[in-house]
Structure 1
Amino acid sequence: MTKDRRDQASRPLDARMLRALAHPLRMRMLELLQADGPATATGLGKRVSESSGTTSWHLRLLAEAGLVEEDSERGNKRERWWRSVQKSTRMRAADFINDPDLAAPLDMFLRSVIEQRYQAESQFASEVAQWMDQWHDHAVFTDARLSLTPEEAAAMSAEVDAVIDRYRRDTRPGDHNVIAHWSAFPRQAQPEKPDTATSD
């Protein structure tokens, strides 16, 4: 029996998908479908403050790229429902960095990912009081600065991904929708140089 594509926890992006996601609105719509489940173009339009015609057009582009599909189990001739094909996507910059035609889509995608993370964390910060009964010492925002080789950083990321995969499971009663953000990237050090000027 063929495995349902929706069973895929994560799919790597290809060039076609990257081009489709090189748009903040399409990124936001896909995020909503992955986080909250199937929706109509009208429902998505209300959540992203766009017309149903606009969201319908963007949904078709996402479908052409293989990122969403029509939910045949819902809707009718007047109302089409859409669902994400996968629970999440993953991207390796190395797959696209040497293609000059993908430079702009890659830049837009990465910036949209960063903006989505900022929005999600800002939303939690604005709602923190309502979560404190159950999440007062469980929500974590960690910033670590390490000295690593590229190979060590890759190994660390693989270990973190393995930990996250261990916690993937179907939703159970009492669960909350939890976002786990993870990134590891280099920063160019800019140490202050000592003042070599002699004083009188």
Structure 2
Amino acid sequence: MEEIQAITAVHHPMRRRIVDYLGLYGTSQVTGLARALEQQVGSISHHLRMLERAGIVERADDPTGDKRTSWWRPTRRRFTWSVDDFADSPADTMLARSAERANINTQIARLSAWHRSGNNDAAWSRAAFSTDSLAWASAEELAMLSRALAETIDTWRRSIDTDDGIERRPVFVFAHGFPTSP
């Protein structure tokens, strides 16, 4: 089970962007993060310290050996949790619900931004996808699907050779599975 501190830390909008950036680009210097995310260095440093306290990022050695610069790396790539994990604490349940809403808003905002962009590149437009399915399942079977999707995405991510000279762009993949009625 995730700690509530980690869940609330990563679902702050700027911290989510930092975690996503480090997940894509790996170990990064604070000034590079600030420039890429169009933020002040002090603000990025503050958010990195909050993420560090939650165990989501950690300080890294400067690859050049210069001890005057601040480098950071992610400690993990995936967060899996449910609001129900915090049913014993009303305060934590409230925080988890807020983080859940923030996560859904982030996902929908990214999808909306993609659609608003006009999708001018035909190859990327053909590659982008949307999928949904309606089926009968038990809670155990839905949890099994969640694990299988996570494993599939991890396998796919590891299969990509980023040093082969092929043009790549950051891509965002998300799926939701939940009980419903037709």
Q: Which amino acid aligns with 2:85?
A: D
1:16 is the counterpart of 2:9: no
Check conservation: 2:33, 2:44, Cα contact below 8 A: yes
1:157 aligned residue (140, 146, 150): 146
Alpha-carbon distance change, 36 to 124 in structure 1, aligned in 2, over 3 angstroms? farther
Matches for 1:34-113 after TM superposition, within 5 Å: 34-74=23-63, 76-113=66-103
CA apart distance, 1:29: 1.6
Q: Which runs of 5+ in 1 are unaligned?
A: 1-11, 192-200
1:184 aligned residue (168, 177, 181): 177
Q: TM-score, normalised by structure 2?
A: 0.78
Q: Which amino acid aligns with 2:53?
A: E
In structure 2, what is the equivalent of residue 167 of structure 1? 156
SS in structure 2 opposite 1:83?
A: strand
**Counterparts of 1:144 and 1:21, CA distance in 2:** 29
Q: Which amino acid aligns with 1:91?
A: W
Q: TM-score, normalised by structure 1?
A: 0.72
1:129 is the counterpart of 2:120: yes
Q: Which amino acid aligns with 2:174?
A: H
Q: Identity percentage over the alignment?
A: 27
SS in structure 2 opposite 1:128?
A: coil
CA apart distance, 1:165: 3.7
SS in structure 2 opposite 1:30?
A: helix
Check conservation: 1:22, 1:106, Cα contact below 8 A: no
Check conservation: 2:58, 2:75, Cα contact below 8 A: yes
Alpha-carbon distance change, 105 to 32 in structure 1, aligned in 2, over 3 angstroms? farther
Q: Which runs of 5+ in 2 are unaligned?
A: none
In structure 1, what is the equivalent of residue 130 of structure 2? 141
Check conservation: 1:26, 1:62, Cα contact below 8 A: yes
SS in structure 2 opposite 1:18?
A: helix
In structure 2, what is the equivalent of residue 4 of structure 1? none
Check conservation: 2:83, 2:97, Cα contact below 8 A: no
2:18 aligned residue (26, 29, 35): 29
Aligned pairs, how many? 176
Q: Which amino acid aligns with 2:120?
A: A
1:114 is the counterpart of 2:104: yes
Q: Which structure's residues are more often helix, by fraction?
A: 2
Over the residues paired in the alignment, what is the CA RMSD in angstroms? Answer: 2.7
